[in-house]
Amino acid sequence: MEIRQAHHTINMLVSAWQSHRMYPEGHPSRVQKTRQCQEQLAVLLADKSPLRIGLVEDTLFIEEHLFADPHIAEAEAVDILTSLEIDGVELERGLSLAELQTFFSLSTACIQSGDDIETALTSANIRHLRIVTLLQDDENPNIVYNSAIKAVDQIFKDIHGGRVPSTDSIRTVSKNMVQSVLRQEHALFALAQIKDYDNYTFNHSVNVGIISLTVGRACGVHPQQLQLLAFGGMIHDIGKLKIPVDIITKPGRLTQLELVQIRRHPDRGVELITQIEGIPKEVIDMVHYHHLHYNRTGYPQQSQPELSPLVDMVTIADHYDAMTTHRSYQRPVPPREAIRRMRHVSGIDLHPEFLEYFIYHLGEYPVGSLLRLASSEIVLVTGFGSLGNQHLKVCRLFNARGTLEADPVSYELLPDEMDQIVGDVDPLSRGIDISIYFD
Ligand SMILES: [Fe+2]
Ligand SMILES: [Fe+2]
């Protein structure tokens, strides 16, 4: 978004909001200003969804623009958000005129009455506008990540022990994962950079659950469906537990017979999960069809009615994690290279639009990228700052003389400092494992 558009959008939002405060319901000014505002937002949301507007340490931001020196409307926006006691709002593609009007009416009313705007919006069934508040404890990315590990571990143990797996904890953790991702967009994704080479299927399952959520967020999936994505992502390869482990872990090429066996894992997975009561159809489809390509080649091949779009999203997550993970027969590929390779199979193996949304969401320098700066230092992208995916949190691994830092320093690269980046570095060429920096 250009800075001019950023100022303009805040002006329109504040002006529409003020018209709701000043004029009674049905007044032409309310309708006209809200319509102009909705049209402006629709243009921006067509380009990028969700769109975030909020406060970071009392300073207003919209997407990557921080208004450190606010104009009148921007100062008013800070007052509105502060009076509502919220950190911001998040707007999604599809935001309607009626939803925007309801938001303005409810928020002016809540400021007067002191009522909670989040509760008011939930009861009004607003789907494309969400309140952003501070993170709760059980939504903390590290806590959520550890509970995801435990939940997947429990399922794997149940299956190894010949029991029908219990999915209670995985359902709870899916919910917390979604909350965590909704509140801190990229923090959980950073933890999917932790790779456990010796325990591939297990680690891959947790990672695909997390990455699927990132794909789902990028595609504007509703939070309830996001829970299904996390759930399905975490158990998508469950059928591999029924394939001989020496085939799963075999280095080098598989024989034709071994290939046939490994290709049975989606069917084996469905056999396992249909023993459990109440598994949603979408989740069964993710387990069954995550190797069925976008062009419907792949496996298993059988006549099949329309599949949920969530299946295509898990497939993208599965590719991304498999590519970026070291395996006995494969060098891990850095994130930017993984994106390039995925684009090669866009529209063939992978859903082209979902893939583009995902790539856009990851940003030019996805978390996990190792970058050389003009100063010759080498930094690892460990996360994003409050201004989005052009505001990098980095960790300096190599100093300008090329020495590995014993105690790496973390700092931030702001959107206007991106020109310091001069190229990619392959972690393997520097003999490092980036996983350890995300622990
Ligand atoms: Fe699989
Ligand atoms: Fe997989």
C-beta of residue 177 within 8 angstroms of C-beta of residue 258: no
What integer is the mean pLDDT of 302-330? 89
344, 362, 380 - which closes a domain: 362
Nearest ligand to the CA atom of 290: 1
CATH code where residue 218 lies:
1.10.3210.10
Q: Could you give the CA distance from residue 206 to residue 196 in angstroms, rounded to a whole number?
A: 11
Does one domain contain both 186 and 257?
Answer: yes
Q: How far apart are the first and last CA of the chain?
A: 34
322, 341, 362 - which closes a domain: 362
Q: What sign does the CA torsion over 290, 296, 299, 303 have? A: positive
Nearest ligand to the CA atom of 317: 2
Does one domain contain both 57 and 169?
Answer: no
327 has which bridge partners?
330
User: What pLDDT sits at residue 404?
Assistant: 95
What integer is the mean pLDDT of 299-318? 90
Q: Could you give the CA distance from residue 291 to residue 297 in angstroms, rounded to a whole number?
A: 9
Alpha carbon of 205 to ligand 2 centroid (Å) = 7
DSSP at 400: T
Angle between helices 223-235 and 309-324 (to 10 degrees): 50
Average pLDDT, rounded, for the chain: 91
Alpha carbon of 237 to ligand 2 centroid (Å) = 5
Condensed to tens digits (0 to 9), the pLDDT of residues 228-286 reads 999 999 999 999 999 999 998 888 889 999 999 999 999 999 999 999 988 999 999 99
- The CA-CA-CA angle for residues 223, 229, 235, to 5°, reads 145
Does one domain contain both 293 and 191?
Answer: yes
Number of domains in the chain: 3
Alpha carbon of 240 to ligand 1 centroid (Å) = 7
Of 282, 239, 241, 281, nearest in space to 264 by CA: 239
C-beta of residue 1 within 8 angstroms of C-beta of residue 62: yes
Nearest ligand to the CA atom of 211: 2
CB atoms closer than 10 angstroms to residue 435: 18
What integer is the mean pLDDT of 142-160? 92
- The CA-CA-CA angle for residues 412, 414, 417, to 5°, reads 110
Does one domain contain both 87 and 155?
Answer: no
Alpha carbon of 370 to ligand 2 centroid (Å) = 24
- What is the chain's alpha carbon radius of gyration, rounded to the nearest angstrom? 23
115, 132, 149 - which closes a domain: 132
Structural domain boundaries, residue 350: 137-362
Alpha carbon of 73 to ligand 1 centroid (Å) = 51
Compute φ and ψ for 338, nearest 5 degrees.
-60, -40
Does one domain contain both 69 and 214?
Answer: no
Alpha carbon of 43 to ligand 2 centroid (Å) = 37
Compute φ and ψ for 320, nearest 5 degrees.
-60, -45
Nearest ligand to the CA atom of 321: 2
The answer for residues whose C-beta is within 8 angstroms of residue 412's C-beta and 6 or more apart is: 385, 391, 392, 393, 394
User: What pLDDT sits at residue 135?
Assistant: 60
Does one domain contain both 104 and 246?
Answer: no
Alpha carbon of 243 to ligand 2 centroid (Å) = 14
Alpha carbon of 49 to ligand 2 centroid (Å) = 27
Alpha carbon of 236 to ligand 2 centroid (Å) = 6
User: What pLDDT sits at residue 137?
Assistant: 62
Alpha carbon of 320 to ligand 2 centroid (Å) = 10
Pick the more confident residue, 214 or 436: 214
Condensed to tens digits (0 to 9), the pLDDT of residues 63-98 reads 888 898 888 999 999 999 999 888 899 999 999 999
Alpha carbon of 105 to ligand 1 centroid (Å) = 48
User: What pLDDT sits at residue 305?
Assistant: 67
Of 319, 363, 325, nearest in space to 341 by CA: 319
Nearest ligand to the CA atom of 314: 2
Return the amino acid letter for 346.
S
Alpha carbon of 202 to ligand 2 centroid (Å) = 10
Strand order in the sheet with 51-56: 65-67, 59-62, 51-56, 88-91, 129-132
* Residue 431 buriedness (CB in 10 A; 0-12 / 13-18 / 19+): exposed
Compute φ and ψ for 6, nearest 5 degrees.
-60, -50
Residue environment code for 87-110, b if the CB has 16+ CB neighbours within 10 A, otherwise e: bbbbbbbebeeebbbbbbbbbbeb
Does one domain contain both 218 and 312?
Answer: yes
Does one domain contain both 411 and 264?
Answer: no
Alpha carbon of 209 to ligand 1 centroid (Å) = 13
Alpha carbon of 437 to ligand 2 centroid (Å) = 24
Does one domain contain both 326 and 263?
Answer: yes
C-beta of residue 290 within 8 angstroms of C-beta of residue 315: yes
Nearest ligand to the CA atom of 212: 2
Nearest ligand to the CA atom of 292: 1
Nearest ligand to the CA atom of 287: 1
Nearest ligand to the CA atom of 233: 2
Does one domain contain both 19 and 61?
Answer: yes
Alpha carbon of 352 to ligand 2 centroid (Å) = 19
User: What pLDDT sits at residue 288?
Assistant: 96
Kindly indicate the confidence band of residue 204, based on its pLDDT and cuts at 50, 70 and 90: very high
**pTM to 2 decimals?**
0.75
Does one domain contain both 275 and 183?
Answer: yes
Question: Is 153's pLDDT higher than 70?
Answer: yes
- Identify residues whose C-beta is under 5 A from ligand 2, the ion: 237, 318
Nearest ligand to the CA atom of 264: 1
Does one domain contain both 151 and 267?
Answer: yes
